[in-house]
Structure 1
Amino acid sequence: MIKLRLAVLLVAATAGLGLAVPATATAEVAPFPALALPFKAGQQVYSAGIHSDDGSTGVKNAIDFSPADRTVRAPLAGTVHLQHCAGGDWVTIDHDGGWRTGYYHMEGIEVTDGEHVEAGAELGSTGNALPCGGSSTGAHVHFTLWTLPGAPAAANWDGKSFAEVSTVVAAASGEPVDGKSIGGWRFTAGAEQYTGTATHLADNAVTQLPGRFRAKL
């Protein structure tokens, strides 16, 4: 379903965040894109489950992944934006149609700001990096979904703390993981934080989250 968001509401919701949205425009976001999983298929992966960006309140737009090879990959072609903080960088990718994916906690980032990447490109390694704050237990990638109607490149989150991105920005632009099909798996959020299921669409095999599964296509 195509989502329409009035820009005037976005302006109110994102005041002071640097998200430039014309007050007279009606912004449109394309249907959810055909994302792959953010790592190579065919390997064992652990997921700590679906949760809000801060793991406490708000829209559940995040899911943690720990693939066996520790390599994080682009799930779809797009343009990389490095979000800078005093403690280092984290990665977002802007995809066609007003969609953005985020990758927090990565170490050994292998992409550069403004770089175009294809699906499957190596972004970095799972880790426990906290460039803008937050917390992490066990190497993983904190994978997030966002919608950015209008001009996504204008959504510069440089210098914004993890607390701000995971609450104020997430309230305006976070997109629920619940019900999304990614890389041949449908993810369903549970009632509690860090829970849910991953259903393999080819055979309807269900993995309870948190849990391990083989990321077959």
Structure 2
Amino acid sequence: MLHRRRVAGLISAALAFVSVGLAHPGTAQAAPGTSVTTAVTEKLLNQNALTGRGVSPQETRVRITREKGGTWAFGTAVVVAPKKEGAAPTGAVFVARAEGGAWTVAFDGEPAFADLAAASPVVTAYEKKLFASARTAADAEVAGAEGSSGDLVQPLANGDFRTGMALPWSTGASWTLTGGGHQWDGASGPYSSVDFAGGDQAVRAARAGAAYTLCSGFVRVIHDRGYASDYYHLTGHINANGAAVSQGTFLGNTGTNVACGGSATGRHVHFGLRQNNAYVPIADHGIGGWVFYTTGSYAGYAMHGSTTRGAGSALTNYGALGLTQGIVDANGGGAVNKRSGPGTGYAVVGSVADGAVVTVSCSRNGTSHEGRFGVTSLWDRLSDGTWISDAYLWTGYNGAVNGTC
């Protein structure tokens, strides 16, 4: 369950697009004769996140990693961060096409990015399918429409906080949450990022996707459903240009690498959550079996069921939560009763412990109950045929995650 009362208070930041003679909504089209590097730089510096910061073109790094015939280009673009605490580089993966002497540019996460990539001869088949998944999910009009992966797809944002991500280290291991929710770059946007340290220091992909090294120490993995995850301060990291990675693939080691700006007083990974070309609040999102909450800059906590861990505490990576799974939250109790039907009028047929991960087969309305986040009449039928109230199950979505019974 994710109650509407919590959803209503969330802020979602979005990056704007340059709008000069647009060839496609969400693209930037440079003047004829402009080089692709200049076109990408102009688009990068015109994002809302950089407005008013006085960033000059000299602070940007555009790297073309693939091109063909002078009409197609693909690569990365980064704004180097100032050398100060809390800062981090801002970057994008881009695809560009030249027509009539003018370059049209789109950044990862934008609808136009998927469309341009689909037509580009320098984008791999794997990347095209991955980028298109964001459009497929965003355009889904019916909650519960089945995606190509077999997982159920709900509309992005709007109360859907399922990421399908693990924490960025080995499943079953514990690392320290050294910094609660804070801005990615220390200057703008929501509290999208957290800091982790410890363990074996090996940073791993939180979910499968395509990996890109944007600059030294800075790796981005683009996932399905419009999500991406960012990792900064890495040492000994991969040099990736769209490499297909699995959840758990090694990306680099924690470090104090600030080659692209910012600062780091101790080795860690600066982990950020993105969706649809914007950093989004990490609050209320489930990652690695934990739900994150923010109480202030670098402050907050994570919950697994009723277990709460604040900054400075160890978090065990429980792995990714499936899109039709939930974490039992007994709201301080030790267990939740399972019943033979959707309501307290049905017989108790067992119990399930706080923090347990369960799979939902379908849902329907029954008797109303109040859990941690409010009141609901929704009940969930588990994979073993028993039922529990959705009031005591965190799924990351305020509704049925696997259709109705």
Q: What's the TM-score, normalizing by structure 2?
A: 0.41
Query: Could you say if the C-alpha distance between residues 66 and 97 of structure 1 is closer, same or farther in structure 2, counting changes exceeding 3 Å?
Result: same
How big is the shift at 1:44?
3.1
Contact 1:55 1:194 in 2 (8 A): no
Once the two structures are superposed, residues 12-35 of structure 1 have per-residue CA deviations (whole angstroms, 9 ceiling, x without a partner) of: 69972166154xx9x637454210
User: 2-side partners of 1:56 and 1:211: how far apart?
Assistant: 24
- Asked if 1:34 is matched to 2:164, the reply is yes
Percent identity over the alignment is 32
The residue type paired with residue 55 of structure 1 is G
Contact 2:217 2:235 in 1 (8 A): no
Once the two structures are superposed, residues 132-179 of structure 1 have per-residue CA deviations (whole angstroms, 9 ceiling, x without a partner) of: 101111100000011236xxxxxxxxxxxxxxxxxxxxxxx1111011
How big is the shift at 1:68?
1.4
- Asked if 1:180 is matched to 2:308, the reply is no
The residue type paired with residue 50 of structure 1 is G
Contact 2:230 2:271 in 1 (8 A): yes
Number of corresponding residues: 181
Q: Which secondary structure state, in structure 2, belongs to the residue aligned with residue 114 of structure 1? A: strand
Once the two structures are superposed, residues 71-119 of structure 1 have per-residue CA deviations (whole angstroms, 9 ceiling, x without a partner) of: 10111100011103xxx35100011122111000010003522110001
Query: Could you say if the C-alpha distance between residues 197 and 100 of structure 1 is closer, same or farther in structure 2, counting changes exceeding 3 Å?
Result: same
The residue type paired with residue 71 of structure 1 is A
Contact 1:45 1:65 in 2 (8 A): yes
Q: Which secondary structure state, in structure 2, belongs to the residue aligned with residue 16 of structure 1? A: helix
Once the two structures are superposed, residues 178-215 of structure 1 have per-residue CA deviations (whole angstroms, 9 ceiling, x without a partner) of: 1111011010011x2101011113xx11012x212141
Give the corresponding residue for 1:199: 303
User: 2-side partners of 1:194 and 1:8: how far apart?
Assistant: 23
Contact 1:82 1:92 in 2 (8 A): yes
User: 1-side partners of 2:317 and 2:244: how far apart?
Assistant: 27
Contact 1:73 1:121 in 2 (8 A): yes
Q: Radius of gyration: which is bigger?
A: 2
User: 1-side partners of 2:217 and 2:201: how far apart?
Assistant: 18
User: 2-side partners of 1:128 and 1:43: how far apart?
Assistant: 22
Give the corresponding residue for 2:258: 130
The residue type paired with residue 16 of structure 1 is K
Contact 1:185 1:198 in 2 (8 A): yes
Query: Could you say if the C-alpha distance between residues 9 and 134 of structure 1 is closer, same or farther in structure 2, counting changes exceeding 3 Å?
Result: closer
Match runs of 1:106-125 below 5 Å = 106-125=234-253
Q: What's the TM-score, normalizing by structure 1?
A: 0.73
Query: Could you say if the C-alpha distance between residues 148 and 131 of structure 1 is closer, same or farther in structure 2, counting changes exceeding 3 Å?
Result: farther
How big is the shift at 1:8?
10
How big is the shift at 1:131?
2.3
How big is the shift at 1:61?
0.7
- Asked if 1:147 is matched to 2:275, the reply is yes
Q: CA RMSD in A?
A: 3.0
User: 2-side partners of 1:8 and 1:139: how far apart?
Assistant: 30
Query: Could you say if the C-alpha distance between residues 9 and 83 of structure 1 is closer, same or farther in structure 2, counting changes exceeding 3 Å?
Result: closer
2:204 to 54, 57, 73: 73
Once the two structures are superposed, residues 21-68 of structure 1 have per-residue CA deviations (whole angstroms, 9 ceiling, x without a partner) of: 54xx9x637454210001113333211211111335531111111131
The residue type paired with residue 213 of structure 1 is A
User: 2-side partners of 1:77 and 1:193: how far apart?
Assistant: 29
Contact 2:18 2:43 in 1 (8 A): no
Query: Could you say if the C-alpha distance between residues 8 and 33 of structure 1 is closer, same or farther in structure 2, counting changes exceeding 3 Å?
Result: closer
| Higher RCO structure (Cα 8 Å, ≥6 apart) | 1
User: 1-side partners of 2:175 and 2:264: how far apart?
Assistant: 17
Give the corresponding residue for 1:213: 314
Q: Which secondary structure state, in structure 2, belongs to the residue aligned with residue 115 of structure 1? A: strand
